[in-house]
Chains A and B, each alone.
Chain A
């Protein structure tokens, strides 16, 4: 996968290990952000690599969360088992949405997933017998990791490690995929679908598969969320959240999976920086999305890299042409 990505993973792992000791009053804020990061990694595979958009990923996030919640609370299943059922259901649903709409072009997947996301939210709110309706339900058991029950007082730290271990695993999977025949084919589809097809890439199949994979990321994130928060209601699964995820991916930079993680951190910490953001939220998300898309379409992460490269070029001690490497 290249030295750069390996270094990145090692550095991220070290940062995760150290953070609870370095910033004991802050690190737990990164638990929810880690969950978002997991969704964003999957979404950046779809958005940045294959060039397809989903405005309904919160629905897959919800499916994972509710499946885990219902199976563990009502039927006493192990969370380890429930997460797989969530993935299975998500795959079925993603195929049902993806196969018909990915046959069509461009806007259709966007609108189909948007409608699907809205339907999922309506069902989560209205099907009270299954989901507990608007008030949801609680007492979801904490995740049991290798016999080490994630409970207070050390719970936050354990949960933090658990969530970010999942993020790092998710990154590893995504990076492996990208740096392969499959990943190149996906990027080719983004840059020129017809040219990719003529080179023997079955574009429709690839788009469906990557859509399903990215939905599975959201589902796993949902399962983790349910056990971490111990409580689910429809609130965090609205279409607005689907668009928040898109915003995170674009802010970080959609053409690299690292951008998904960076975007989740940046956008996730935004409410921390601006107190009492509730009413400003939409306008700020919209503005950020618009500005990034118009002026820094490669996202903050690659934007900063390009800026550094540019200033190095301007400075007198110009480097010799080194072979560039992309992730």
Chain B
């Protein structure tokens, strides 16, 4: 494994019945980079994320995160190892407030179990204060602290997006997976999102990004992987991808680049 790689994927395949959702995907994600995965609809990008987070079990292949094998582990173990994600369609806990959602994101930062909670031990109360403070910090960073006590179901779509991002950041992951974070944003909002992602990277987090907005991908990514029908067809820095003829043919050709 390359010394500075945080994630290394080898020969990753996923089949649903006879359908090959992913076939022989390989990538090395260097620590502290923004790494984008692009491809037309049905290219297997979300399946790729699902394999990385234990939502689906890969059919074959290996996934190493910080030199530890991940493939086949349950999701919560992968989360403990330091991977957090957002979802293409928002999956907030709809009966909870904004703050509570972000506090669930802090789950791996705490340790209180059933006995500690029932007895309300002093250690539990200290931990609760600490987590609340951390959660509020994340809300402030995303400029939604004023919504902390609102039920998430009452928020408009864009703010729900932010809550979900805050929830993922609250887990203080080393690797953050963003599944189409710019979907539904206008140009100005996309610009802000790009700045936010770069500032997340500044903090030392590695970001894995699935995105359709090519200008965003080309602007902030250090490295781009292109999938088509589950098969990797190109990998390289944004400029190189933009000039890759295979990529242009299957994907970028249709975009006005």
Check: A182 CB closer than 8 A to any chain B CB.
yes
With A200-B108, A323-B149: A191-B94 Cβ-Cβ less than 8 Å = yes
Contact A195 B127, beta carbon cutoff 8 Å: no
Write out, one digit per residue, whether chain B residues 62-102 have a CB within 8 A of any chain A CB (1) or not (0): 00000000000011101110001101000111111100100
**Which of these binds chain B: A34-42, A73-81, A148-156, A173-181?**
A173-181
Contact A180 B75, beta carbon cutoff 8 Å: no
With A200-B76, A324-B151: A181-B128 Cβ-Cβ less than 8 Å = yes
Measured between C-beta atoms, what is the minimum distance from A180 to chain B in Å?
4
With A190-B95, A324-B97: A196-B104 Cβ-Cβ less than 8 Å = yes
With A201-B107, A324-B149, A324-B151: A180-B167 Cβ-Cβ less than 8 Å = no
Check: B103 CB closer than 8 A to any chain A CB.
yes
Chain B residue at minimal CB-CB distance from A212: B114
Residues of B within 8 A of A313 (CB): none
Check: A43 CB closer than 8 A to any chain B CB.
no
- Interface residues in A299-327 (C-beta closer than 8 Å to B): 323-326
Residues of B within 8 A of A323 (CB): 148-150
Residues of B within 8 A of A180 (CB): 112, 116-117, 124, 128
Check: A139 CB closer than 8 A to any chain B CB.
no
Count residues on chain B whose CB falls below 8 Å from chain A CBs.
45
Residues of A within 8 A of B87 (CB): 195
Residues of A within 8 A of B96 (CB): 184, 187-188, 191, 326
Check: A241 CB closer than 8 A to any chain B CB.
no
Complex formed: what's the CA distance from A187 to B120 in Å?
19
Complex formed: what's the CA distance from A187 to B78 in Å?
21
Chain A interface: which size bin? 20 to 34
Measured between C-beta atoms, what is the minimum distance from B96 to chain A in Å?
6
Residues of B within 8 A of A200 (CB): 76, 79-80, 107-108, 171
Measured between C-beta atoms, what is the minimum distance from B117 to chain A in Å?
4
Contact B84 A176, beta carbon cutoff 8 Å: no
Of A182, A188, A195, A196, the contact of B112 (CB 8 Å cutoff): A182
Contact B104 A185, beta carbon cutoff 8 Å: yes
Write out, one digit per residue, whether chain A residues 166-208 have a CB within 8 A of any chain B CB (1) or not (0): 0000000100110011111101101110111111111100000
Contact B76 A203, beta carbon cutoff 8 Å: yes
Complex formed: what's the CA distance from A181 to B96 in Å?
13
Measured between C-beta atoms, what is the minimum distance from B47 to chain A in Å?
14
Check: A209 CB closer than 8 A to any chain B CB.
yes
Measured between C-beta atoms, what is the minimum distance from A256 to chain B in Å?
11
Of B108, B117, B128, B151, the contact of A199 (CB 8 Å cutoff): B108
Check: B5 CB closer than 8 A to any chain A CB.
no
Question: Interface residues of A: mostly helix, strand, loop or mixed?
Answer: helix
Of A181, A191, A196, A213, the contact of B110 (CB 8 Å cutoff): A181
Contact B104 A188, beta carbon cutoff 8 Å: yes
Measured between C-beta atoms, what is the minimum distance from B56 to chain A in Å?
10
Check: B249 CB closer than 8 A to any chain A CB.
no
Contact A198 B53, beta carbon cutoff 8 Å: yes
Complex formed: what's the CA distance from A209 to B103 in Å?
21
Chain B residue at minimal CB-CB distance from A191: B93
Complex formed: what's the CA distance from A195 to B91 in Å?
7
With A194-B75, A195-B87: A177-B114 Cβ-Cβ less than 8 Å = yes
Contact B107 A199, beta carbon cutoff 8 Å: yes
With A176-B117, A176-B119, A201-B107: A181-B100 Cβ-Cβ less than 8 Å = no
Measured between C-beta atoms, what is the minimum distance from B165 to chain A in Å?
13
Complex formed: what's the CA distance from A188 to B104 in Å?
7
Complex formed: what's the CA distance from A181 to B55 in Å?
23
Check: B257 CB closer than 8 A to any chain A CB.
no
Contact A201 B104, beta carbon cutoff 8 Å: yes
Contact A326 B107, beta carbon cutoff 8 Å: no
Contact B95 A187, beta carbon cutoff 8 Å: yes
Residues of B within 8 A of A177 (CB): 114, 117-118
Check: A227 CB closer than 8 A to any chain B CB.
no
Residues of B within 8 A of A209 (CB): 114
Residues of A within 8 A of B230 (CB): none
Contact A184 B118, beta carbon cutoff 8 Å: no
Check: A255 CB closer than 8 A to any chain B CB.
yes
- Interface residues in B99-148 (C-beta closer than 8 Å to A): 100, 103-108, 110, 112-114, 116-120, 124, 127-128, 131, 148
Measured between C-beta atoms, what is the minimum distance from B104 to chain A in Å?
5
Complex formed: what's the CA distance from A255 to B95 in Å?
9
Contact A199 B95, beta carbon cutoff 8 Å: no
Contact B113 A182, beta carbon cutoff 8 Å: yes
Q: What 6 A-B pairs have minimum CB-CB distances, sorted nearest first?
A: A200-B79, A180-B117, A323-B149, A200-B108, A191-B93, A197-B75
A interface, CB within 8 angstroms of B: 173, 176-177, 180-185, 187-188, 190-192, 194-203, 209, 213, 255, 323-326
Contacts A183-B117, A202-B74 given; 12 further ones with Cβ under 8 A? A177-B114, A177-B118, A181-B117, A181-B124, A184-B107, A194-B75, A197-B55, A198-B85, A201-B76, A209-B114, A326-B97, A326-B151
A-B contact pairs, 17 of them (CB 8 A): A176-B118, A176-B120, A177-B117, A177-B118, A181-B131, A183-B117, A184-B96, A187-B93, A191-B93, A191-B94, A191-B96, A192-B93, A197-B79, A198-B75, A198-B78, A199-B79, A200-B76
B interface, CB within 8 angstroms of A: 53-55, 74-76, 78-80, 84-85, 87, 91-97, 100, 103-108, 110, 112-114, 116-120, 124, 127-128, 131, 148-151, 167, 171
